[in-house]
């Protein structure tokens, strides 16, 4: 017997989206669409909040630097510059044009009167250029501000992240030890250390560390960014106050979590005290710590301005103070503030994401 097999070509029609949607339960479909709409609205609201905050901060900084007495042309060219050179400098950088939409110039009799300039002003030109990726040029070097920020930005982020890591590495063990030994001599001693760390500002800790480790012992360089060890002193100076704050928060979280029912259950199962503390108690107690870390990043970036000045660290803070504010370089000041504020908001967004990983019950509203 001879068998013959015949294969016929079969055409499978693709599934249409309408067919898939019709297969779902109406209530399930409604819930799915509402969830997608809610997530989309949350993303758009967060983006709108980011744009609003950045615009507000940069606008306030622009207003303040315009109100500060002084002439950028004189600050850049010096007192020996001729009137023709000053006029040429102002025309080149648009300083001979109005700063905002309106102003109060003096008339021939010396009285200030309101005058509307419309869109012909430096503020409007700055934002139009910024939307196209152009943050202007520096008055002193004629280099794009964006390039100056790119050169200094990695140093500031490196310093802030290292300071945060140092603070976390110090705070978590000390906070756990203090919380576990509540009311003992160890707890009291660590609390005193934390209070001292909170009380001492960076401009006091920094020179003390320079005198001890750079001048007396000669172990570390007093300033600069030439070797990997140069970041130790500025990072420890910047992270000292944060480590003291985090130590007290970890201590309070550990004390609160140790009275929860899941801790007694874990101990009843025979888990070691170390595993109970670092695997169960610490994970739940880190939620308020993550909150502080996200908010303190802005404090670290602001504190980095003083720390960078003390140690000569070539970051955004040094660029903002010396080249921006010191030389009245408007574009540098606006660009640095824009970069710092955007970084702070992005860090807060990442903090919200870490919330959900630490505790899935949390929903970001």
Q: Give the chain's count of helices (H) and strands (E).
A: 14, 2
> Which pLDDT score, from 0 to 100, does residue 360 have?
61
Mean pLDDT value across the chain: 79
Q: What is the pLDDT of residues 219-257, one digit of tens each?
A: 888 888 888 888 889 998 888 888 888 888 888 888 887
Q: Give 334-356 as a DSSP string.
A: HHHHHHHHHHHHHHHHHHHHHHH
pLDDT at res. 109: 74
pLDDT at residue number 15: 46
Sign of CA dihedral 200, 205, 206, 208: positive
pLDDT given for residue 19 in this prediction: 46
The pLDDT tens digits for 337-352 are 888 888 888 877 777 7
State residue 20's pLDDT score.
47
**The token pair that represents 225 in the structure block:** 């960014």
> What would the mean pLDDT of 275-286 be, rounded to a whole number?
76
Compute the residue count for the chain: 365
Q: In this predicted structure, what is the pLDDT of residue 29?
A: 67
Residues 6+ apart with CB under 8 A from 288: 249, 253
CA distances from 53 to 64, 141, 301, 317, 351 (A): 17, 30, 17, 20, 18
């Amino acid at each position: 017997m001879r068998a013959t097999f015949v294969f016929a070509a079969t055409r499978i029609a693709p599934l249409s989206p309408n067919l898939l949607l019709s297969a779902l339960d109406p209530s399930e479909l409604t819930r799915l669409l509402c969830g997608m709409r809610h997530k989309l609205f949350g993303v758009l609201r967060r983006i709108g909040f980011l744009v609003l905050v950045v615009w507000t901060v940069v606008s306030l900084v622009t207003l303040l630097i315009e109100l500060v007495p002084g002439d950028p042309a004189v600050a850049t060219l010096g007192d020996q510059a001729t009137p023709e050179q000053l006029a040429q400098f102002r025309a080149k950088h648009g300083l001979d044009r109005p700063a905002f939409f309106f102003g109060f110039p003096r008339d021939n009799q010396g009285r200030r009167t309101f005058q509307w300039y419309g869109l012909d002003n430096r503020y409007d030109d700055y934002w139009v250029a910024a939307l196209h990726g152009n943050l202007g040029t520096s008055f002193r070097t004629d280099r794009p501000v964006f390039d100056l920020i790119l050169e200094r930005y990695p140093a500031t982020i490196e310093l802030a992240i290292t300071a945060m890591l140092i603070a976390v590495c110090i705070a978590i063990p000390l906070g756990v030890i203090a919380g576990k030994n509540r009311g003992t001599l160890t707890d009291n001693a660590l609390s005193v250390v934390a209070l001292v760390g909170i009380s001492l500002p960076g401009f006091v800790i920094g020179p003390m560390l320079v005198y001890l480790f750079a001048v007396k012992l000669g172990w570390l360089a007093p300033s600069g960014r030439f070797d990997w060890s140069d970041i130790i002193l500025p990072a420890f100076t910047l992270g000292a106050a944060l480590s003291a704050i985090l130590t007290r928060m970890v201590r309070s979280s550990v004390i609160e979590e140790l009275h929860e029912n899941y801790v007694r259950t874990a101990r009843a199962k025979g888990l070691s005290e170390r595993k109970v503390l670092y695997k169960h108690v610490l994970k739940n107690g880190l939620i308020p710590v993550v909150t502080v870390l996200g908010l303190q990043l802005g404090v670290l970036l602001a504190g980095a301005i003083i720390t960078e000045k003390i140690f000569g660290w070539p970051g955004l803070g040094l660029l903002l103070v010396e080249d921006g504010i010191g030389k009245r370089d408007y574009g540098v000041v606006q660009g640095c503030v824009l970069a710092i504020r955007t970084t702070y908001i992005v860090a807060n967004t990442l903090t919200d994401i870490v919330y959900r990983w630490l505790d899935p019950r949390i929903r970001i509203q």
